[in-house]
Structure 1
Protein backbone atom coordinates (compact mmCIF):
# COMPACT_ATOMS: atom_id res chain seq x y z
CA UNK A 1 0.00 0.00 0.00
CA UNK A 2 1.36 3.42 -0.99
CA UNK A 3 2.01 6.21 1.49
CA UNK A 4 -0.95 8.21 0.20
CA UNK A 5 -3.36 5.30 0.51
CA UNK A 6 -2.08 4.49 3.99
CA UNK A 7 -2.71 8.09 5.09
CA UNK A 8 -6.22 7.99 3.61
CA UNK A 9 -6.99 4.80 5.55
CA UNK A 10 -5.60 6.32 8.76
CA UNK A 11 -7.61 9.53 8.30
CA UNK A 12 -10.84 7.61 7.76
CA UNK A 13 -10.09 5.44 10.76
CA UNK A 14 -9.58 8.61 12.80
CA UNK A 15 -12.98 9.98 11.86
CA UNK A 16 -14.54 6.63 12.79
CA UNK A 17 -12.78 6.67 16.19
CA UNK A 18 -14.15 10.14 16.90
CA UNK A 19 -17.58 8.81 15.96
CA UNK A 20 -17.25 5.99 18.51
CA UNK A 21 -16.33 8.45 21.28
CA UNK A 22 -19.21 10.82 20.60
CA UNK A 23 -21.63 7.93 20.29
CA UNK A 24 -20.65 6.79 23.79
CA UNK A 25 -20.84 10.33 25.21
CA UNK A 26 -24.22 10.87 23.57
CA UNK A 27 -25.62 7.59 24.90
CA UNK A 28 -24.44 8.41 28.44
CA UNK A 29 -26.00 11.87 28.16
CA UNK A 30 -29.25 10.29 26.99
CA UNK A 31 -29.21 7.90 29.94
CA UNK A 32 -28.54 10.86 32.24
CA UNK A 33 -31.55 12.64 30.79
CA UNK A 34 -33.57 9.57 31.74
CA UNK A 35 -32.02 9.67 35.25
CA UNK A 36 -30.13 6.43 34.72
CA UNK A 37 -26.60 7.79 35.12
CA UNK A 38 -24.53 10.98 34.91
CA UNK A 39 -23.08 12.55 31.77
CA UNK A 40 -19.53 11.49 30.92
CA UNK A 41 -16.80 13.34 29.10
CA UNK A 42 -14.37 11.72 26.63
CA UNK A 43 -12.00 10.52 29.37
CA UNK A 44 -14.74 8.87 31.43
CA UNK A 45 -16.27 7.40 28.28
CA UNK A 46 -12.99 5.67 27.48
CA UNK A 47 -12.88 4.26 31.01
CA UNK A 48 -16.47 3.05 30.64
CA UNK A 49 -15.61 1.47 27.30
CA UNK A 50 -12.64 -0.29 28.86
CA UNK A 51 -14.91 -1.89 31.48
CA UNK A 52 -17.08 -3.58 28.86
CA UNK A 53 -16.55 -7.09 27.39
CA UNK A 54 -13.71 -6.90 24.86
CA UNK A 55 -13.14 -3.39 26.20
CA UNK A 56 -9.36 -3.53 25.86
CA UNK A 57 -9.66 -4.47 22.19
CA UNK A 58 -12.19 -1.70 21.58
CA UNK A 59 -10.08 0.92 23.39
CA UNK A 60 -6.98 -0.23 21.49
CA UNK A 61 -8.85 0.38 18.22
CA UNK A 62 -9.99 3.80 19.48
CA UNK A 63 -6.39 4.64 20.51
CA UNK A 64 -5.12 3.79 17.03
CA UNK A 65 -7.91 5.82 15.49
CA UNK A 66 -7.30 8.85 17.71
CA UNK A 67 -3.58 8.85 16.94
CA UNK A 68 -4.47 8.62 13.25
CA UNK A 69 -6.99 11.43 13.58
CA UNK A 70 -4.48 13.61 15.45
CA UNK A 71 -1.94 13.02 12.70
CA UNK A 72 -4.50 13.84 10.02
CA UNK A 73 -5.48 17.10 11.73
CA UNK A 74 -1.83 18.12 11.97
CA UNK A 75 -1.29 17.25 8.32
CA UNK A 76 -4.34 19.37 7.44
CA UNK A 77 -2.87 22.26 9.42
CA UNK A 78 0.79 22.06 8.46
CA UNK A 79 0.59 20.88 4.84
CA UNK A 80 -2.77 22.54 4.08
CA UNK A 81 -4.11 19.51 2.22
CA UNK A 82 -7.60 21.10 2.15
CA UNK A 83 -6.20 24.28 0.57
CA UNK A 84 -7.36 26.80 3.16
CA UNK A 85 -4.53 29.10 2.10
CA UNK A 86 -2.34 31.59 3.95
CA UNK A 87 -4.80 34.45 4.35
CA UNK A 88 -6.09 35.30 7.81
CA UNK A 89 -9.20 33.10 7.55
CA UNK A 90 -7.19 30.16 6.28
CA UNK A 91 -4.53 30.56 8.96
CA UNK A 92 -7.19 30.69 11.70
CA UNK A 93 -8.78 27.48 10.39
CA UNK A 94 -5.39 25.78 10.20
CA UNK A 95 -4.55 26.90 13.74
CA UNK A 96 -7.80 25.34 14.91
CA UNK A 97 -6.94 22.11 13.10
CA UNK A 98 -3.52 22.06 14.74
CA UNK A 99 -5.11 22.56 18.18
CA UNK A 100 -7.55 19.74 17.43
CA UNK A 101 -4.63 17.51 16.51
CA UNK A 102 -2.89 18.24 19.81
CA UNK A 103 -6.08 17.64 21.83
CA UNK A 104 -6.84 14.35 20.08
CA UNK A 105 -3.23 13.28 20.49
CA UNK A 106 -3.43 13.99 24.23
CA UNK A 107 -6.69 12.01 24.44
CA UNK A 108 -5.03 9.12 22.60
CA UNK A 109 -2.12 9.18 25.07
CA UNK A 110 -4.61 9.11 27.95
CA UNK A 111 -6.43 6.14 26.41
CA UNK A 112 -3.10 4.39 25.87
CA UNK A 113 -2.22 4.97 29.52
CA UNK A 114 -5.46 3.21 30.47
CA UNK A 115 -4.41 0.19 28.46
CA UNK A 116 -0.89 0.09 29.88
CA UNK A 117 -1.37 1.09 33.50
CA UNK A 118 -4.97 0.24 34.34
CA UNK A 119 -7.91 2.58 34.89
CA UNK A 120 -7.36 3.50 38.53
CA UNK A 121 -3.66 4.26 38.37
CA UNK A 122 -3.95 6.12 35.07
CA UNK A 123 -6.91 8.17 36.25
CA UNK A 124 -5.13 9.23 39.45
CA UNK A 125 -1.86 10.14 37.76
CA UNK A 126 -3.65 12.00 35.00
CA UNK A 127 -5.65 14.04 37.47
CA UNK A 128 -2.59 14.83 39.57
CA UNK A 129 -0.59 15.92 36.54
CA UNK A 130 -3.45 18.08 35.31
CA UNK A 131 -3.88 19.78 38.67
CA UNK A 132 -0.13 20.36 39.03
CA UNK A 133 0.06 21.89 35.56
CA UNK A 134 -2.95 24.13 36.12
CA UNK A 135 -1.75 25.13 39.56
CA UNK A 136 1.57 26.18 38.01
CA UNK A 137 -0.04 28.07 35.12
CA UNK A 138 -2.76 29.70 37.20
CA UNK A 139 -0.84 30.53 40.38
CA UNK A 140 -0.06 34.15 39.51
CA UNK A 141 -2.20 37.05 40.72
CA UNK A 142 -3.91 37.80 37.40
CA UNK A 143 -4.43 34.19 36.35
CA UNK A 144 -8.09 34.90 35.61
CA UNK A 145 -6.90 36.75 32.50
CA UNK A 146 -5.31 33.53 31.28
CA UNK A 147 -8.58 31.69 31.92
CA UNK A 148 -10.43 34.23 29.78
CA UNK A 149 -7.88 33.79 26.99
CA UNK A 150 -8.24 30.01 27.18
CA UNK A 151 -12.02 30.44 27.02
CA UNK A 152 -11.65 32.03 23.58
CA UNK A 153 -10.63 28.65 22.14
CA UNK A 154 -13.84 26.69 22.86
CA UNK A 155 -15.84 29.85 22.15
CA UNK A 156 -14.33 30.15 18.68
CA UNK A 157 -14.68 26.42 18.02
CA UNK A 158 -18.31 26.49 19.11
CA UNK A 159 -19.23 29.46 16.92
CA UNK A 160 -17.42 27.90 13.95
CA UNK A 161 -19.33 24.63 14.41
CA UNK A 162 -22.70 26.40 14.55
CA UNK A 163 -21.92 28.41 11.40
CA UNK A 164 -20.64 25.29 9.65
CA UNK A 165 -23.77 23.38 10.59
CA UNK A 166 -26.17 26.20 9.73
CA UNK A 167 -24.62 26.83 6.31
CA UNK A 168 -23.92 23.13 5.68
CA UNK A 169 -20.50 24.20 4.39
CA UNK A 170 -19.17 20.74 5.22
CA UNK A 171 -20.85 19.43 2.05
CA UNK A 172 -18.00 20.62 -0.17
CA UNK A 173 -15.73 18.07 1.51
CA UNK A 174 -18.07 15.12 0.87
CA UNK A 175 -17.88 12.74 -2.08
CA UNK A 176 -21.42 11.40 -1.99
CA UNK A 177 -24.42 11.71 -4.28
CA UNK A 178 -27.66 13.41 -3.33
CA UNK A 179 -29.31 10.10 -2.43
CA UNK A 180 -26.80 9.83 0.43
CA UNK A 181 -26.58 13.52 1.32
CA UNK A 182 -30.33 13.90 1.81
CA UNK A 183 -29.86 11.78 4.94
CA UNK A 184 -26.35 12.86 5.91
CA UNK A 185 -27.03 16.59 5.56
CA UNK A 186 -29.71 17.13 8.26
CA UNK A 187 -28.07 14.77 10.75
CA UNK A 188 -24.67 16.43 10.25
CA UNK A 189 -26.14 19.91 10.68
CA UNK A 190 -27.81 18.90 13.93
CA UNK A 191 -24.60 17.27 15.18
CA UNK A 192 -22.38 20.25 14.38
CA UNK A 193 -24.77 22.74 15.97
CA UNK A 194 -25.13 20.57 19.10
CA UNK A 195 -21.36 20.21 19.49
CA UNK A 196 -20.99 23.95 18.93
CA UNK A 197 -23.45 24.71 21.72
CA UNK A 198 -21.55 22.43 24.11
CA UNK A 199 -18.25 24.15 23.30
CA UNK A 200 -19.78 27.60 23.78
CA UNK A 201 -21.13 26.49 27.14
CA UNK A 202 -17.66 25.29 28.15
CA UNK A 203 -16.35 28.76 27.24
CA UNK A 204 -19.09 30.42 29.29
CA UNK A 205 -18.29 28.20 32.27
CA UNK A 206 -14.69 29.37 32.04
CA UNK A 207 -15.64 33.03 31.62
CA UNK A 208 -18.16 33.23 34.45
CA UNK A 209 -16.51 30.78 36.84
CA UNK A 210 -12.87 31.18 35.87
CA UNK A 211 -11.72 31.92 39.41
CA UNK A 212 -13.03 28.51 40.52
CA UNK A 213 -10.57 26.69 38.28
CA UNK A 214 -7.27 28.08 39.56
CA UNK A 215 -6.05 24.74 40.92
CA UNK A 216 -8.74 22.41 39.61
CA UNK A 217 -9.45 20.68 36.34
CA UNK A 218 -10.93 23.06 33.77
CA UNK A 219 -14.56 22.47 32.77
CA UNK A 220 -15.15 19.98 29.99
CA UNK A 221 -18.00 18.38 28.12
CA UNK A 222 -19.27 16.62 31.24
CA UNK A 223 -19.54 19.93 33.10
CA UNK A 224 -21.39 21.49 30.17
CA UNK A 225 -23.88 18.63 30.02
CA UNK A 226 -24.41 18.67 33.79
CA UNK A 227 -25.06 22.43 33.63
CA UNK A 228 -27.69 21.81 30.96
CA UNK A 229 -29.24 19.13 33.13
CA UNK A 230 -29.57 21.64 36.00
CA UNK A 231 -31.55 24.11 33.92
CA UNK A 232 -35.36 24.35 34.14
CA UNK A 233 -36.66 21.42 32.06
CA UNK A 234 -33.02 20.33 32.08
CA UNK A 235 -33.83 16.69 31.43
CA UNK A 236 -35.53 17.57 28.16
CA UNK A 237 -32.73 19.97 27.18
CA UNK A 238 -30.12 17.33 27.95
CA UNK A 239 -32.04 14.76 25.93
CA UNK A 240 -32.05 17.06 22.89
CA UNK A 241 -28.30 17.66 23.29
CA UNK A 242 -27.72 13.91 23.70
CA UNK A 243 -29.41 13.26 20.37
CA UNK A 244 -27.34 16.10 18.94
CA UNK A 245 -24.07 14.51 20.10
CA UNK A 246 -25.20 11.16 18.71
CA UNK A 247 -25.93 12.99 15.46
CA UNK A 248 -22.36 14.35 15.56
CA UNK A 249 -21.10 10.77 15.88
CA UNK A 250 -23.12 9.90 12.75
CA UNK A 251 -21.53 12.91 11.03
CA UNK A 252 -18.10 11.56 12.00
CA UNK A 253 -18.95 8.12 10.62
CA UNK A 254 -20.18 9.78 7.41
CA UNK A 255 -16.85 11.59 7.16
CA UNK A 256 -15.07 8.27 7.59
CA UNK A 257 -17.03 6.92 4.64
CA UNK A 258 -17.40 9.84 2.21
CA UNK A 259 -15.10 12.73 3.13
CA UNK A 260 -12.63 13.88 0.49
CA UNK A 261 -9.15 13.04 1.75
CA UNK A 262 -6.78 15.19 -0.29
CA UNK A 263 -3.23 13.85 -0.43
CA UNK A 264 -1.93 15.70 -3.50
CA UNK A 265 1.36 16.57 -1.81
CA UNK A 266 4.33 17.24 -4.10
CA UNK A 267 6.80 15.09 -2.15
CA UNK A 268 4.58 12.00 -1.95
CA UNK A 269 4.41 9.33 -4.65
CA UNK A 270 1.06 8.84 -6.38
CA UNK A 271 -1.02 5.84 -5.32
Structure 2
Protein backbone atom coordinates (compact mmCIF):
# COMPACT_ATOMS: atom_id res chain seq x y z
CA UNK A 1 0.00 0.00 0.00
CA UNK A 2 1.41 3.37 -1.00
CA UNK A 3 1.62 6.33 1.34
CA UNK A 4 -1.12 8.05 -0.68
CA UNK A 5 -3.47 5.07 -0.35
CA UNK A 6 -2.77 4.85 3.38
CA UNK A 7 -3.45 8.57 3.83
CA UNK A 8 -6.67 8.25 1.86
CA UNK A 9 -7.87 5.36 4.02
CA UNK A 10 -7.02 7.27 7.17
CA UNK A 11 -8.91 10.32 5.92
CA UNK A 12 -11.96 8.22 5.08
CA UNK A 13 -11.81 6.51 8.48
CA UNK A 14 -11.57 9.88 10.23
CA UNK A 15 -14.54 11.22 8.25
CA UNK A 16 -16.64 8.17 9.06
CA UNK A 17 -15.70 8.41 12.74
CA UNK A 18 -16.64 12.07 12.86
CA UNK A 19 -20.07 11.54 11.28
CA UNK A 20 -20.71 8.51 13.54
CA UNK A 21 -20.01 10.54 16.71
CA UNK A 22 -23.02 10.50 19.12
CA UNK A 23 -23.24 14.30 19.04
CA UNK A 24 -23.40 14.30 15.22
CA UNK A 25 -26.00 11.52 15.40
CA UNK A 26 -28.19 13.61 17.69
CA UNK A 27 -27.80 16.71 15.54
CA UNK A 28 -28.72 14.73 12.42
CA UNK A 29 -31.90 13.58 14.15
CA UNK A 30 -32.65 17.19 15.03
CA UNK A 31 -32.19 17.98 11.35
CA UNK A 32 -34.66 15.26 10.34
CA UNK A 33 -37.21 16.75 12.75
CA UNK A 34 -36.53 20.21 11.30
CA UNK A 35 -37.18 18.79 7.84
CA UNK A 36 -40.55 17.65 9.16
CA UNK A 37 -41.28 21.20 10.33
CA UNK A 38 -40.54 22.58 6.85
CA UNK A 39 -42.75 20.01 5.13
CA UNK A 40 -45.57 20.66 7.61
CA UNK A 41 -45.45 24.41 6.93
CA UNK A 42 -45.30 23.84 3.16
CA UNK A 43 -48.26 21.49 3.38
CA UNK A 44 -50.32 23.98 5.39
CA UNK A 45 -49.62 26.79 2.90
CA UNK A 46 -50.43 24.48 -0.01
CA UNK A 47 -53.80 23.59 1.51
CA UNK A 48 -54.55 27.28 1.99
CA UNK A 49 -53.60 27.99 -1.64
CA UNK A 50 -55.96 25.24 -2.79
CA UNK A 51 -58.75 26.80 -0.74
CA UNK A 52 -57.98 30.28 -2.10
CA UNK A 53 -56.50 31.51 1.18
CA UNK A 54 -52.80 31.55 0.34
CA UNK A 55 -52.44 35.24 1.05
CA UNK A 56 -49.43 35.55 -1.26
CA UNK A 57 -47.35 33.10 0.78
CA UNK A 58 -45.08 30.72 -1.08
CA UNK A 59 -45.36 26.98 -0.52
CA UNK A 60 -41.65 26.20 -0.60
CA UNK A 61 -38.74 25.81 1.79
CA UNK A 62 -37.79 29.50 1.63
CA UNK A 63 -41.36 30.47 2.50
CA UNK A 64 -41.46 27.95 5.34
CA UNK A 65 -38.17 29.24 6.78
CA UNK A 66 -39.44 32.82 6.57
CA UNK A 67 -42.53 31.72 8.50
CA UNK A 68 -40.34 30.22 11.24
CA UNK A 69 -38.33 33.46 11.41
CA UNK A 70 -41.51 35.41 12.27
CA UNK A 71 -42.30 33.18 15.26
CA UNK A 72 -41.41 34.14 18.85
CA UNK A 73 -37.80 33.08 19.39
CA UNK A 74 -37.67 32.44 15.65
CA UNK A 75 -33.99 33.33 15.40
CA UNK A 76 -33.10 30.74 18.04
CA UNK A 77 -35.13 28.11 16.19
CA UNK A 78 -33.38 28.99 12.93
CA UNK A 79 -29.94 28.53 14.51
CA UNK A 80 -31.04 25.11 15.80
CA UNK A 81 -32.17 24.29 12.26
CA UNK A 82 -28.80 25.42 10.87
CA UNK A 83 -27.01 23.00 13.22
CA UNK A 84 -29.40 20.19 12.30
CA UNK A 85 -29.13 20.68 8.54
CA UNK A 86 -25.34 21.05 8.68
CA UNK A 87 -25.25 17.67 10.43
CA UNK A 88 -27.57 16.21 7.79
CA UNK A 89 -25.37 17.60 5.01
CA UNK A 90 -22.21 16.09 6.50
CA UNK A 91 -23.93 12.78 7.19
CA UNK A 92 -25.26 12.46 3.63
CA UNK A 93 -21.91 13.54 2.17
CA UNK A 94 -20.19 10.83 4.20
CA UNK A 95 -22.74 8.27 2.98
CA UNK A 96 -22.25 9.35 -0.63
CA UNK A 97 -18.46 9.09 -0.39
CA UNK A 98 -17.95 6.12 1.92
CA UNK A 99 -21.31 4.37 2.28
CA UNK A 100 -20.77 1.63 -0.29
CA UNK A 101 -24.07 2.49 -1.99
CA UNK A 102 -25.30 1.45 -5.42
CA UNK A 103 -25.38 3.94 -8.26
CA UNK A 104 -29.02 5.00 -7.85
CA UNK A 105 -28.79 5.28 -4.07
CA UNK A 106 -25.50 7.19 -4.33
CA UNK A 107 -26.99 9.68 -6.80
CA UNK A 108 -30.01 10.22 -4.56
CA UNK A 109 -27.72 10.71 -1.56
CA UNK A 110 -25.64 13.25 -3.48
CA UNK A 111 -28.86 15.04 -4.36
CA UNK A 112 -29.95 15.12 -0.71
CA UNK A 113 -26.53 16.48 0.25
CA UNK A 114 -27.01 19.35 -2.19
CA UNK A 115 -30.56 20.05 -1.02
CA UNK A 116 -29.54 20.12 2.64
CA UNK A 117 -26.62 22.41 1.82
CA UNK A 118 -28.97 24.78 -0.02
CA UNK A 119 -31.34 24.78 2.96
CA UNK A 120 -28.39 25.74 5.18
CA UNK A 121 -27.70 28.62 2.79
CA UNK A 122 -31.34 29.73 2.90
CA UNK A 123 -31.38 29.60 6.70
CA UNK A 124 -28.23 31.71 6.93
CA UNK A 125 -29.63 34.16 4.37
CA UNK A 126 -32.76 34.69 6.48
CA UNK A 127 -30.67 35.07 9.64
CA UNK A 128 -28.32 37.56 7.98
CA UNK A 129 -30.61 39.54 5.70
CA UNK A 130 -34.08 38.70 6.99
CA UNK A 131 -35.20 37.23 3.67
CA UNK A 132 -34.43 34.47 1.20
CA UNK A 133 -34.80 33.99 -2.54
CA UNK A 134 -37.80 31.83 -3.41
CA UNK A 135 -37.31 28.36 -4.81
CA UNK A 136 -39.11 29.43 -8.00
CA UNK A 137 -36.67 32.26 -8.59
CA UNK A 138 -33.67 30.05 -7.88
CA UNK A 139 -34.96 27.42 -10.29
CA UNK A 140 -35.53 29.92 -13.08
CA UNK A 141 -32.16 31.62 -12.58
CA UNK A 142 -30.36 28.28 -12.63
CA UNK A 143 -32.27 27.19 -15.73
CA UNK A 144 -31.45 30.43 -17.51
CA UNK A 145 -27.75 30.05 -16.68
CA UNK A 146 -27.69 26.46 -17.91
CA UNK A 147 -29.55 27.29 -21.12
CA UNK A 148 -26.81 29.81 -21.91
CA UNK A 149 -24.14 27.09 -21.91
CA UNK A 150 -23.09 25.14 -25.01
CA UNK A 151 -25.59 22.31 -25.25
CA UNK A 152 -27.62 24.01 -22.54
CA UNK A 153 -31.04 22.71 -23.64
CA UNK A 154 -29.73 19.13 -23.55
CA UNK A 155 -28.32 19.68 -20.05
CA UNK A 156 -31.59 21.19 -18.82
CA UNK A 157 -33.58 18.44 -20.52
CA UNK A 158 -31.43 15.78 -18.85
CA UNK A 159 -32.01 17.40 -15.46
CA UNK A 160 -35.75 17.45 -16.12
CA UNK A 161 -35.76 13.77 -17.07
CA UNK A 162 -33.72 13.08 -13.94
CA UNK A 163 -36.41 14.77 -11.85
CA UNK A 164 -39.09 12.69 -13.55
CA UNK A 165 -37.07 9.54 -12.81
CA UNK A 166 -36.67 10.68 -9.19
CA UNK A 167 -40.42 11.17 -8.94
CA UNK A 168 -41.01 7.64 -10.22
CA UNK A 169 -38.39 6.32 -7.79
CA UNK A 170 -39.99 8.07 -4.81
CA UNK A 171 -43.43 6.82 -5.81
CA UNK A 172 -42.06 3.29 -6.13
CA UNK A 173 -40.35 3.56 -2.73
CA UNK A 174 -43.65 4.61 -1.21
CA UNK A 175 -45.78 1.90 -2.80
CA UNK A 176 -43.26 -0.87 -2.08
CA UNK A 177 -42.43 0.58 1.37
CA UNK A 178 -38.75 0.44 0.58
CA UNK A 179 -38.25 3.32 3.01
CA UNK A 180 -38.42 0.65 5.73
CA UNK A 181 -34.81 -0.20 4.87
CA UNK A 182 -33.75 3.11 6.42
CA UNK A 183 -35.56 2.54 9.72
CA UNK A 184 -34.62 0.61 12.85
CA UNK A 185 -37.70 -1.61 12.67
CA UNK A 186 -36.55 -3.67 15.67
CA UNK A 187 -36.91 -0.61 17.90
CA UNK A 188 -40.47 0.06 16.77
CA UNK A 189 -43.70 -1.33 18.17
CA UNK A 190 -46.19 -2.91 15.72
CA UNK A 191 -48.36 0.20 16.02
CA UNK A 192 -45.40 2.48 15.23
CA UNK A 193 -44.44 0.36 12.20
CA UNK A 194 -48.01 0.50 10.92
CA UNK A 195 -48.18 4.27 11.37
CA UNK A 196 -44.83 4.82 9.65
CA UNK A 197 -45.92 2.58 6.76
CA UNK A 198 -48.99 4.73 6.16
CA UNK A 199 -47.14 8.03 6.58
CA UNK A 200 -44.28 6.90 4.33
CA UNK A 201 -46.60 5.60 1.62
CA UNK A 202 -48.61 8.82 1.40
CA UNK A 203 -45.57 11.08 1.80
CA UNK A 204 -43.32 9.41 -0.76
CA UNK A 205 -46.10 9.20 -3.36
CA UNK A 206 -46.92 12.90 -2.86
CA UNK A 207 -43.25 13.86 -3.22
CA UNK A 208 -43.03 11.65 -6.31
CA UNK A 209 -45.93 13.47 -7.95
CA UNK A 210 -44.33 16.85 -7.24
CA UNK A 211 -40.86 15.84 -8.45
CA UNK A 212 -42.28 14.28 -11.61
CA UNK A 213 -44.35 17.35 -12.47
CA UNK A 214 -41.41 19.66 -11.74
CA UNK A 215 -39.33 17.55 -14.11
CA UNK A 216 -41.93 17.95 -16.86
CA UNK A 217 -41.74 21.72 -16.45
CA UNK A 218 -37.94 21.66 -16.69
CA UNK A 219 -38.11 19.55 -19.85
CA UNK A 220 -40.62 22.03 -21.27
CA UNK A 221 -38.20 24.86 -20.45
CA UNK A 222 -35.46 23.02 -22.36
CA UNK A 223 -37.66 22.43 -25.40
CA UNK A 224 -39.00 25.99 -25.55
CA UNK A 225 -35.73 27.60 -24.42
CA UNK A 226 -37.79 29.50 -21.85
CA UNK A 227 -36.47 29.47 -18.25
CA UNK A 228 -39.78 30.87 -16.99
CA UNK A 229 -41.32 27.46 -17.70
CA UNK A 230 -39.17 25.96 -14.95
CA UNK A 231 -40.43 26.53 -11.45
CA UNK A 232 -39.69 25.43 -7.93
CA UNK A 233 -41.93 23.73 -5.40
CA UNK A 234 -44.39 26.61 -5.12
CA UNK A 235 -44.98 26.85 -8.88
CA UNK A 236 -45.34 23.08 -9.14
CA UNK A 237 -47.93 22.94 -6.38
CA UNK A 238 -49.89 25.82 -7.87
CA UNK A 239 -49.87 24.03 -11.23
CA UNK A 240 -51.69 21.11 -9.62
CA UNK A 241 -54.58 23.44 -8.82
CA UNK A 242 -54.80 24.35 -12.52
CA UNK A 243 -55.41 20.75 -13.66
CA UNK A 244 -58.87 19.57 -14.77
CA UNK A 245 -59.30 18.02 -11.32
CA UNK A 246 -58.95 21.50 -9.89
CA UNK A 247 -57.71 22.51 -6.45
CA UNK A 248 -58.73 19.17 -4.93
CA UNK A 249 -55.69 17.50 -6.46
CA UNK A 250 -53.53 20.11 -4.72
CA UNK A 251 -55.37 19.40 -1.47
CA UNK A 252 -54.60 15.68 -1.80
CA UNK A 253 -50.92 16.30 -2.54
CA UNK A 254 -50.69 18.89 0.24
CA UNK A 255 -52.15 16.41 2.71
CA UNK A 256 -49.53 13.95 1.47
CA UNK A 257 -46.84 16.50 2.36
CA UNK A 258 -48.35 16.92 5.83
CA UNK A 259 -48.27 13.15 6.28
CA UNK A 260 -44.66 13.12 5.09
CA UNK A 261 -43.90 15.69 7.79
CA UNK A 262 -45.24 13.16 10.29
CA UNK A 263 -42.99 10.53 8.72
CA UNK A 264 -40.00 12.87 9.16
CA UNK A 265 -40.77 13.25 12.86
CA UNK A 266 -40.90 9.48 13.22
CA UNK A 267 -37.77 9.16 11.12
CA UNK A 268 -35.92 11.48 13.49
CA UNK A 269 -36.42 8.83 16.17
CA UNK A 270 -36.09 5.58 14.26
CA UNK A 271 -33.86 6.41 11.27
CA UNK A 272 -30.63 4.43 10.98
CA UNK A 273 -27.92 7.08 11.24
CA UNK A 274 -24.62 5.28 10.64
Q: TM-score range by the shorter chain?
A: 0.7 to 0.9
TM-score normalised over the length of structure 2: 0.82
| Partner Cα distance (2:84, 2:60) in 1 | 18
The correspondence of residues 157-196 of structure 1 with structure 2, limited to 5 A, is: 157-175=166-184, 176-196=188-208
Aligned residue for 1:40?
59
Q: Which has the higher contact order (CA 8 A, sep 6+)?
A: 1
Aligned residue for 1:144?
153
Question: Given the superposition, is the C-alpha separation of residues 64 and 218 from structure 1 closer, same or farther in structure 2, using an over 3 Å criterion?
Answer: farther
Aligned residue for 1:267?
none
8 A contact 1:143–1:214 mirrored in 2: no
Q: Structure 2: give runs of 5+ residues left out of the alignment.
A: 1-17
Aligned residue for 1:69?
88
Moved over 6 A (4+): none
| Root-mean-square deviation (Å) | 2.5
Q: Which of 236, 240, 243 matches 1:228?
A: 240
Aligned residue for 1:115?
127
The answer to whether structure 1 residue 51 and structure 2 residue 74 are counterparts is no
Question: What secondary structure does 1:147 align onto?
Answer: helix
Q: Structure 1: give runs of 5+ residues left out of the alignment.
A: 85-89, 263-271
The answer to whether structure 1 residue 91 and structure 2 residue 85 are counterparts is no
Q: Which of 24, 29, 36 matches 1:19?
A: 36
Question: Given the superposition, is the C-alpha separation of residues 186 and 208 from structure 1 closer, same or farther in structure 2, using an over 3 Å criterion?
Answer: same
| Partner Cα distance (2:181, 2:138) in 1 | 43
| Partner Cα distance (2:226, 2:244) in 1 | 29
How far does residue 252 in structure 1 lie from its aligned partner after superposition?
Answer: 1.0
Q: What's the CA shift string for 1:72-112, capped at 9, x where partnerless?
A: 211221120xx53xxxxx12211220121012101211211
Aligned residue for 2:97?
78
Question: Given the superposition, is the C-alpha separation of residues 141 and 6 from structure 1 closer, same or farther in structure 2, using an over 3 Å criterion?
Answer: closer
Q: Which of 153, 161, 164 matches 1:155?
A: 164
| Partner Cα distance (2:201, 2:235) in 1 | 23
TM-score normalised over the length of structure 1: 0.83
| Partner Cα distance (1:187, 1:135) in 2 | 36
